[in-house]
Structure 1
Amino acid sequence: MRNHKSLYSRISKRKSNYNQKLARIIVILSVVLCFTFSIVIFATPAKGNEKPRYKYFKSIEIEAGDTLWSIAEEYMTKEYKCTMDYVKELKSMNGLTSDTIHEGNSLVIAYYSDELK
């Protein structure tokens, strides 16, 4: 009979230890999730204070020495991640399959402005 109580006691102790470890893991995961959620919520800039930006298009004449890349650097605004993205948009808007452009031709460019026109 003593063996059964001892065995029961050990099993009960193991279950108790397991439950305590499980509870600790759940608490730690909850804290980590709350912390991560807080960072995401508070690190995201408030968009309510930003003025809306409007996208416009205009045609420019290509001058001697112009390249798509130099035009992109001149007209690209902060809405584009990088010059390559802007060059891709220029090529798409103008039906270009290569980076080659010629002096005297027209090129449609996109730009953003705070001003509603």
Structure 2
Amino acid sequence: MRKLFLAFIFTLLLVSFLIGRANTTRAGMDKENIRYTSVKVEYGDSLDSISRKYNNIGISNAEYVKEVLKMNGMNSDRVHPGCFIVVSYKEE
């Protein structure tokens, strides 16, 4: 009886691990095609307009702007012409 119980617990743990691994693998594959580039801010650009141009990652523009702010160590969403910022995009 004890061996049967241990086999059941082991099987349950193995199935749980494999299900969790499948989700992690799928998320990792999505990140494999993420690339980064430097973009020169032109007159009239905003992080919102840059987001609309480069965000093909599958997240909302608001989330993308937050990511750009974080990647560039910015405290404000104001950008100035002539500056360079790093953005991400998905290579297809």
83, 86, 89: which one aligns with 1:108: 86
Give the 4+ runs in structure 1 shifted more than 2 A.
Answer: none
The answer to whether structure 1 residue 54 and structure 2 residue 33 are counterparts is: yes
- Corresponding residue pairs, total: 65
Counterpart contact for 1:53–1:113, Cα < 8 Å? no
65, 72, 77: which one aligns with 1:94: 72
Report 1 or 2 for greater relative contact order, CA contacts < 8 Å, sequence distance ≥ 6. 2
Q: TM-score, normalised by structure 2?
A: 0.64
RMSD of aligned alpha carbons:
2.1
Offset, 1:78: 4.1
Structure 1 residue runs without a partner (length 5+): 1-46
Counterpart contact for 2:57–2:89, Cα < 8 Å? no
Flag the structure with larger Rg: 1
Percent identity over the alignment is: 33
Give me the whole-angstrom Cα distance separating, in 2, the residues matched to 1:72 and 1:58.
13
Offset, 1:53: 5.4
Q: TM-score, normalised by structure 1?
A: 0.51
